[in-house]
């Protein structure tokens, strides 16, 4: 083994054990060994290691031989004093500081002093010793994060008390994010530190960070119920503070899914003003709960009596929000809960009382000004109408796409069934020639013709829909109307072919057996088909009536003057339903039924 490697191992063992005689023996062999690093690739000196393990006698010898090692920094720009303070080696701290007091002012690459690292680990004895150097705390005035921030974040109550005695102004100092020590301990849930800081000054609970969040807001975000209770017992006013984004303490609790915190706040506070209060985006707590697909939270908020039909700035109710994304399983629980609570979509709501009041006030003005709505109200109504109309068109377009996909699937299934029936004809075929056994019967010929027509009509439908991709709603409607009728024709031929096939394979013999079976089969099939057509006919008739009524109202609205018997409130209601000045009868006339027939 090379001598240098052997010396490194012996040196490392001596430092880790604090063996002074072994260390001095190595120095006698090679005085430069004291400058070696104990770990390959590390910048830590042997004094760093001795300080970390608290080997005071060994450190004395190292300092005597190489006093400059006290200021030697490792890869983190930390001195041996940092190591000693972090591990709470009080005697080592005394040795290093008494040897050179300037050592306490050195900071690492994180701008942490020896006092800061001692506060982080909760080393009370070391902190008390370093607090005897007042200038050390003065250095923290120029920075942001103080030793009190670090101690409060770590939950070290005794250290917090000592620093408050030395520098009470640190309790109000904010870090880069605008957080005071109380913000940090509330965020971490340290109840005793929170209690100590509030006892020191209850006004600390009203301080806000850069986003306008108070310590109570952070406690709600993290779900610290015990901290919330402590703050509210000191100051109820902090519950009414709103962030820069318009969020209340309930908004933050719901947004972060802190169910227990929200439940506690609702039980302790009068949340009548908070529960329906919107943020800067117009979202109430119910909007946030449904957007996050928080089923338990949503059901609890509904029990509190929230406004289930409140509308945000996007013109959405809570029901609109949850229906905009049904991919999450939580939406399946939320949707019926909202509907049971009376939740509606935005376009289903009647005119708001504010809008009605604006119209009624307008009617009291002079006749010239009463002929038209105020410009701001008109713009508001126009924006609302456009939003509702865009949503209606989006829903109908999505329905048309789904109908197109459904027709393609059904046509493929018909083609599959008829193809299978064609190569496996009723009655079978002869093995030697491959000819159909029942091929000469008239019923078989009817089956073959109907089966072929159903096959190629369905194939034609598939090819037609796959080849043409319309990008306009009217083109899509025309395409679906044509393919829908062809699909019905194909289904009819398939049904006729089935009846013919059954007639072919029924046993032939004397007596009414075959005839009765056939009659029963036709009666059942025909009855079901007639029932379907009657139902569709009724729906189609209702749809035509709605469309006719819509057109009649539209023409009447164009002919009548503004002074007609129709009130402005009724006119506003018509506008809110998306039926005023619209050129799309399919969308507007079908809104009430929720479907359109073609």
Residues 372/558, Cβ–Cβ less than 8 Å: no
Check pLDDT > 70 for residue 500.
yes
CA gap 539, 293 in Å, rounded: 35
CATH architecture under which domain 1-143 falls: Alpha Horseshoe (1.25)
Check pLDDT > 60 for residue 89.
yes
- Report the residue count for the chain: 598
Q: Tokens at residue 376, please?
A: 């701001």
Poorest-confidence range of 36-45, 67-76, 163-172? 36-45
Check pLDDT > 90 for residue 448.
no
Q: pLDDT tier at 566 (50, 70, 90 boundaries)?
A: very low
What one-character-per-residue DSSP string does 78-122 give? --HHHHHHHHT-HHHHHHHHHH-GGGGG---TTS--HHHHHHHHT
Poorest-confidence range of 192-206, 457-471, 546-560? 546-560
CA gap 186, 191 in Å, rounded: 7
Q: What are all long-range contacts of 94-103, with beta carbons under 8 Å and residues at least 24 apart?
A: 94/129, 95/56, 95/59, 95/60, 95/63, 96/51, 96/59, 96/63, 96/70, 97/129, 97/130, 99/63, 99/67, 99/70, 100/67, 100/70, 100/71, 101/133, 103/70, 103/71, 103/79
Q: Return the SS3 of 389.
A: helix
With 0-12 / 13-18 / 19 or more C-beta atoms within 10 angstroms meaning exposed / middle / buried, residue 435 is exposed
Residue 366: what pLDDT?
44
Q: pLDDT tier at 561 (50, 70, 90 boundaries)?
A: very low
- Average pLDDT of the segment spanning 215-227: 96
Computed over every residue of the chain, the mean pLDDT equals: 80
Higher pLDDT, 10 or 230: 230
The number of C-alpha atoms within 13 Å of 467 and in the hemisphere containing its C-beta is 7
- Average pLDDT of the segment spanning 502-528: 68
Q: pLDDT tier at 488 (50, 70, 90 boundaries)?
A: confident
Q: Where in the chain is the domain with CATH 1.25.40.20?
A: 1-143, 242-349
440 backbone dihedrals φ, ψ, rounded to 5°: -85, -10
Poorest-confidence range of 59-68, 195-204, 231-240, 576-585? 576-585
Residue 517: what pLDDT?
65
Poorest-confidence range of 103-112, 147-156, 322-331? 322-331
Q: Return the closest-CA partner of residue 230 out of 267, 258, 197.
A: 197
Q: Within 10 A of 327 (CB to CB), how many other CB atoms are there?
A: 7
Higher pLDDT, 378 or 418: 418
243 backbone dihedrals φ, ψ, rounded to 5°: -75, 175
With 0-12 / 13-18 / 19 or more C-beta atoms within 10 angstroms meaning exposed / middle / buried, residue 575 is buried
**CATH code matching the domain that covers 242-349, chosen among 3.30.70.2500, 1.25.40.20, 3.40.1390.30, 2.60.120.260:** 1.25.40.20
Q: Return the closest-CA partner of residue 225 out of 275, 263, 185.
A: 263
Q: pLDDT tier at 472 (50, 70, 90 boundaries)?
A: low
- Average pLDDT of the segment spanning 382-408: 68
Q: Tokens at residue 14, please?
A: 């001596």
Q: pLDDT tier at 511 (50, 70, 90 boundaries)?
A: low
Q: pLDDT tier at 367 (50, 70, 90 boundaries)?
A: very low
- Computed from CA positions of residues 262, 267, 269, 272, in that sequence, does the dihedral angle turn out positive or negative? positive
- Average pLDDT of the segment spanning 312-330: 83
Residue 116: what pLDDT?
94
Residue 1: what pLDDT?
37
- Average pLDDT of the segment spanning 347-372: 51
Beta bridge partners of 429: 436
**What is the per-residue pLDDT across 577-597, written as a single tens digit (0 to 9) for each?**
443 344 445 555 455 545 455
Higher pLDDT, 439 or 150: 150
State which of 93-107, 127-141, 511-525 shows the largest mean pLDDT. Answer: 93-107
């Amino acid at each position: 083994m090379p001598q240098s490697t052997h010396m490194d191992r012996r040196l490392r063992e001596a430092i880790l054990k604090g063996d002074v005689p072994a260390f001095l023996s190595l120095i006698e062999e090679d005085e430069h060994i004291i400058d070696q690093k104990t770990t390959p690739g590390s910048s830590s000196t042997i004094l760093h290691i001795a300080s970390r393990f608290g080997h005071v006698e060994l450190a004395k010898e190292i300092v005597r031989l190489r006093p400059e090692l006290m200021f030697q920094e490792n890869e983190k720009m930390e001195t041996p004093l940092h190591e000693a303070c972090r591990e709470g080696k009080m005697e080592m701290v005394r040795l290093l500081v008494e040897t050179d007091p300037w050592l306490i002012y050195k900071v690492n690459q994180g701008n942490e002093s020896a006092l800061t690292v001692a506060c982080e680990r909760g080393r009370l004895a070391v902190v008390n010793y370093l607090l005897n150097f007042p200038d050390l705390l003065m250095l923290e005035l120029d920075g942001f994060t103080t030793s009190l921030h670090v101690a409060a974040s770590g939950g070290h109550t005794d250290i917090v008390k000592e620093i408050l005695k030395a520098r009470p102004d640190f309790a109000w100092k904010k870090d880069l994010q605008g957080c005071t020590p109380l913000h940090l301990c509330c965020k971490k849930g340290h109840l005793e530190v929170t209690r100590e800081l509030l006892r020191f000054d209850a006004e600390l609970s009203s301080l806000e960070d850069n986003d306008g969040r108070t310590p109570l807001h952070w406690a709600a975000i993290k779900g610290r119920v015990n901290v919330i209770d402590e703050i509210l017992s000191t100051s109820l006013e902090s519950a009414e503070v709103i962030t820069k984004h318009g969020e209340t303490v309930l908004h933050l609790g719901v947004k972060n899914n802190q169910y227990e915190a929200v439940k506690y706040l609702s039980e302790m506070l009068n949340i009548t003003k908070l529960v329906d209060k919107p943020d800067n985006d117009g979202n109430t707590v119910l909007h946030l709960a449904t957007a996050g697909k928080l089923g338990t939270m949503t059901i609890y908020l509904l029990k509190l009596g929230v406004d289930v039909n409140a509308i945000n700035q996007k013109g959405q109710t809570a029901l609109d929000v949850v229906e905009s994304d049904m991919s999450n399983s939580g939406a399946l629980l939320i949707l019926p809960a909202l509907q049971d609570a009376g939740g509606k979509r935005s376009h289903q709501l009647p005119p708001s009382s504010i809008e009605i009041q604006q119209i009624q006030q307008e009617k009291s003005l002079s006749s010239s000004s009463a002929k038209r709505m105020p410009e701001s109200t008109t713009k508001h109504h126009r924006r609302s109408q456009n939003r509702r109309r865009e949503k209606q068109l989006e829903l109908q377009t999505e329905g048309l796409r789904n109908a197109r996909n459904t027709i393609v699937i059904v046509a493929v299934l018909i083609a599959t069934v008829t193809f299978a029936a064609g190569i496996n004809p009723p009655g079978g075929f002869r093995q030697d020639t491959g000819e159909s056994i029942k091929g000469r019967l008239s019923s078989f010929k009817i089956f073959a013709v109907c089966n072929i027509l159903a096959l190629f009509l369905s194939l034609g439908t598939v090819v037609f829909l796959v080849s043409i991709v319309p990008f306009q709603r009217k083109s899509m409607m025309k395409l679906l109307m044509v393919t829908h009728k062809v699909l019905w024709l194909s289904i009819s031929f398939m049904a006729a072919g089935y009846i013919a096939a059954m007639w072919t394979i029924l046993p032939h013999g004397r007596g009414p057996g075959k005839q009765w079976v056939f009659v029963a089969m036709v009666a059942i099939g025909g009855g079901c088909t007639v029932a379907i057509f009657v139902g569709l006919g009724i729906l189609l008739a209702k749809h035509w009536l709605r469309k006719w009524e819509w057109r009649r109202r539209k023409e009447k609205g164009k002919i009548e003057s503004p002074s007609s018997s129709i009130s402005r409130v009724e006119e506003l209601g018509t506008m809110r339903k998306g039926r005023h000045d619209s050129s799309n009868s399919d969308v507007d006339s079908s809104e009430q039924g929720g479907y359109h027939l073609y």
